[in-house]
Amino acid sequence: MGPEEDLPTLISQKDHLNVLRYVRAHQLREPNLVVNHGKILLQSKSLGDAERLASLEQICIAACDIGDLDLAESCLDSIVNPTSNSKSLIVTKQSSRYRKLLALCLEAAGNYESAGAVYDILLQDNPSNAYAAKRKYCILAAQPGKETDAMKALDEYLSKHPGDLAAWNQMAEMCLSVSDFKGAAYCYEELVLGCPLDSNIHTKLGEAYCTTGGVENAKLARKHLAQAVQLDPNNLRAWYGLVAAAEGYLEEVEKLSKNKREAEDEGVEVAKELIKFGGEKLVGIYKGTKLAKVVNAVLKESSESL
């Protein structure tokens, strides 16, 4: 549990200790705030050993985030060489706690090879160390020309940690960057399992299926985009996607043989109604805006082609 006061109040009160506690408790990324308040906090002689260690770790990570390597190295040195007389909170250089921070400092300095070596040691000590495996992927992703290696590292990570939704989202983005829409759709399907009520994920999944092409993929695209607008009626991207997916479905049906086209008669009627319904919805949303004429013209063209 963090402090009961809100962050602006703590900042105005110059409560440096609780500012850092608040940032930790709420998992905020505020490196400049942490560094500014942390420097002052470390000057306090009344700071307990446990709080000093936690603050040093937090400041070290924040310093790496803003590129203040001198401060990061100073914190790292203070962690293994504490000024207090306490022996119970000494962190050794062989501990995973120290090695994690050391690797982050090496990453921040651009020394990826040495950082990777540290993570390899952590994985040797504990093969299921999710943090080290994820950081190895981050190192590869940060280096131009190693996109393929980064994808392999992330794929290996996901094979051992399939419940990491953030990693699935990252893999989906990497698949999209190399035009692997089928792979992206698979990743978004995994995300839908974890976040079934997220309209944006359904939208991205529908777009991936729509871009992949084919009648069945067009149907799946229509399904997920319809789910997206049901979850969030104000999701403009999903409304446009729904109209585009319905149009794409009609185009795919036209490529089929006569017998197969007849089997899709019901789906064709549904697609036409979706185009009309989606178009009316978008026209209503943009009514009275500067873009109304453009939207009307585009949607009118779609309706006339039915």
- What pLDDT is recorded for position 61? 96
How does DSSP classify residue 6? -
- What pLDDT is recorded for position 14? 92
**Residues whose CB falls within 8 Å of the CB of residue 162, separated by 6 or more in sequence, listed in order:** 190
- What pLDDT is recorded for position 280? 82
- Residue indicated by tokens 């549904």: 270
Q: Which of 126, 125, 122, 127 is nearest to 139 (CA)?
A: 122
Question: What pTM value is reported for the model?
Answer: 0.80
Q: Which helix (H) or strand (E) holds 136?
A: helix 130-141
- What pLDDT is recorded for position 1? 47
| Distance from C-alpha of 233 to C-alpha of 247, rounded to nearest angstrom | 20
On whether the CB atoms of residues 165 and 191 are closer than 8 A, the answer is yes
Per-residue pLDDT tens, the chain, 306 aa: give them.
456 688 999 999 999 999 999 999 999 999 999 999 999 999 888 888 889 999 999 999 999 999 999 999 999 999 988 765 555 566 888 999 999 999 999 999 999 999 999 999 999 999 889 999 999 999 999 999 898 899 999 999 999 999 999 999 999 999 999 899 999 999 999 999 999 999 999 999 999 999 998 999 999 999 999 999 999 999 999 999 999 999 999 988 888 887 887 788 888 888 888 888 888 888 787 887 877 777 777 776 666 555
- What pLDDT is recorded for position 263? 81
| Helix axes 69-80 and 49-66, enclosed angle (nearest 10) | 150
- What pLDDT is recorded for position 261? 79
How does DSSP classify residue 80? H
Task: Please report, for residues 2, 100, 263, the alpha-carbon distance to residue 21 in angstroms, rounded to integers and kept in the order given.
Answer: 6, 20, 63
- What pLDDT is recorded for position 89? 61
| Distance from C-alpha of 138 to C-alpha of 153, rounded to nearest angstrom | 9
Q: Which of 207, 216, 213 is nearest to 242 (CA)?
A: 207
Q: Which of 287, 296, 278 is nearest to 242 (CA)?
A: 278
Tell how far CA 295 is from the center of its chain: 31
Amino acid, res. 66 = I
Q: Which of 24, 66, 29 is nearest to 41 (CA)?
A: 24
